[in-house]
Amino acid sequence: MFAALSFALTLALSVVSASPSKSTSPKHYVPKAWRAPTASDSRSPCPGLNTLANHDILPRSGRNITHSMLASIFENFFNFQEPLAIGVANASNLFLRADGTFDLHDTTVHGVIEHDASYVHDDTPAGEKFGTAETNMTKAELLVGLSADGVLMTAKDLGVARYLLERALVTPLDALHQMAANGEGPLAMSAFGFTQKDGTKAMKVDDFRNVFKYNRLPNGFKTYPEQVTGAIMNKTIAQLVARKEELIAFGQL
């Protein structure tokens, strides 16, 4: 979903979920004022989903969310092409109850969508069933500090982050969660960012900080007019992976 989807619901994880259903008819979403979650609200390890709940695009409570809600938001609020919107929303099928709903906290189960080497969350201690939905503010600010120019966060910057985070792991991510980790940042950039001249997605540093650190929409956020396709997202993922592999090959920054 955008962490884990962390915006994870990641495209990479969506392929293992149940068959896609059709998204809802077009809907116009108007974000409400940001409000921090209360103690009774449910939140996920995914900054993007938490952002949606904090602005009442998803229910503020973070509870009783459906597949169709997610598909509609990704298609109509973020302007994702319908197959991509459905594919991302399909990750929710891993958590749906018999009534077709789930709560954001359900996604904190370790090893399903949530994984170690997160951009802004602590690793899950061995033996714990649930990861954390709490943002490590220091880690989040260090992530923002990896911007090469201090103006934009790009896929290359996230490639550096992934290299550093994964290098510190005692147990490497398995193949599925590696795919998810590579896709989460580009998914968030596709939802909240813009397209650069090279065709990849990026975000302004302040916008990236708002989403990943504070779980709030970028100031003055407007849906990007260009429809987001799988090809655009894959190009951004490819740039991230290429940068990370460069660093692995050299063994240093």
Query: Residues in the chain with pLDDT < 50?
Result: 3-21, 23-24, 253
Domains of the chain listed by start with CATH number: 11-24+39-250 (1.10.489.10)
Q: How far apart are CA 231 and CA 21, in angstroms?
A: 21
Helix intervals (H) in the chain: 11-14, 47-54, 67-72, 82-89, 137-144, 155-167, 175-192, 205-212, 230-250
Q: How far apart are CA 228 and CA 75, in angstroms?
A: 9
Helix axis angle, 175-192 to 205-212, nearest 10°: 120
- Which pLDDT tens digit goes with each residue over 135-191? 999 999 999 999 999 999 999 999 999 999 999 999 999 999 999 999 999 999 999
Helix (H, G, I), strand (E, B) or coil at 65: strand
pLDDT at position 251, please?
A: 78
- pTM flag (> 0.85): yes
Maximum Cα–Cα distance across the chain: 51
pLDDT at position 53, please?
A: 99
